[in-house]
Structure 1
Amino acid sequence: MFSARGLAAVVAAFTAVVLPASPVRADDGFPFGFEMTLDTLPQPGSKRIPTLEIGDNGEAKLDLWCKRGTGQFSVAGNTVIFVPGQLQDQGCPPARAQADDDLVAALSEATTWRRRGDQVSFVGTRPLKFHLNTN
């Protein structure tokens, strides 16, 4: 049986070891479990705007201007790594397909991220800004 002090020590040790390894869920934490929309205008001739859904374990679904696919996010502190999976071309014009490839490349080149409320930024060679879909 633990004394009150012993129990407090076990809880403190558990908190120090387990909680940092868990995904952060605070307002300013990485948006695991959320869908977000790129902060941009639609491409000419289309109403679509790219979205990104990040699962609880970093698995990602991308629904871009023209292509759809998957990927994986790895996060440590404010460092981020995105590894794209296979993308399926939906038969769009070359300019939209190229815009999708450029967006995936920019996500892949991002090295850090930050969140301010409902806005999430990925920072690399080309910064990307997304808004969380909170409705």
Structure 2
Amino acid sequence: MISMRRNLNGGIAALALVAATLGADAARAQEEFPFGFVMTLDAARMPGSKRIPSIEIGDHGEVVLELWCKGGKGQFSVAGNTVIFVPGAMENRTCTPERAQADKDLLAVLGDMTSWRRHGDEVTFTGGKSLHFVINSN
């Protein structure tokens, strides 16, 4: 009887250890940099527009940007919680002065980013200012 109880307790302890390990791996995977995903800026739409800036990040850090008006490409480099964004050429689309300035401001903030953190489907980039994005998971 005592031997059976020890085996049962040992089995329960092993199961708990396996469950904790699997849970930690799932949490760690969820907190990785969102390569291969599209993220939308957590912001309200500008008056007269249906657009909200989004970033599509490829598996190797290549980026496709859709801003308030313009679009283009760029590159993310990530090491731990450090991030560097380098914008590429932007398409020269016809924009209102307000949207053109908002695009310019957003690119400047993205270029100043130095770190990132992820909590579930939310990603925050920080530098001179903070930007909050939501991973499009549907």
TM range (shorter): 0.7 to 0.9
Distance 2:99 2:37 in 1: 25
Please, which of 20, 33, 36 is the counterpart of residue 33 of structure 1? Answer: 36
Report what 1:123 is aligned to: 126
Residue of structure 1 equivalent to 2:135: 132
Partner of 2:22: none
The CA deviation at 1:98 is 0.7
Aligned equivalent of 1:58, options 45, 61, 80: 61
RMSD between aligned residues? 0.9
Kindly name which structure, 1 or 2, has the bigger radius of gyration based on alpha carbons: 2
What letter is aligned with 2:116?
W
The structure with more helix, counted as a fraction of residues: 2
Deviation at 1:26, TM superposition (A): 1.1
1:96 and 2:103 correspond: no
Structure 2 letter corresponding to 1:103 = L
CA distance, structure 2, for counterparts of residue 36 and residue 116 of structure 1: 13
Cα deviation, residue 89, structure 1: 2.5
Shift of 1:54: 0.3
The answer as to whether partners of 1:89 and 1:97 remain within 8 angstroms in 2 is no
**Secondary structure class of the residue paired with 1:89:** coil
**Shift of residue 126 of structure 1?**
1.2
Q: How many residues align?
A: 111
Alpha-carbon distance between aligned partners in 2 of 1:132 and 1:82, rounded to the nearest angstrom:
18
Q: Matches of 2:44 and 2:132 in 1, distance apart?
A: 12
Q: In the alignment, is the contact (CA less than 8 A) between 1:69 and 1:85 conserved in 2?
A: yes
Percent identity over paired residues: 62
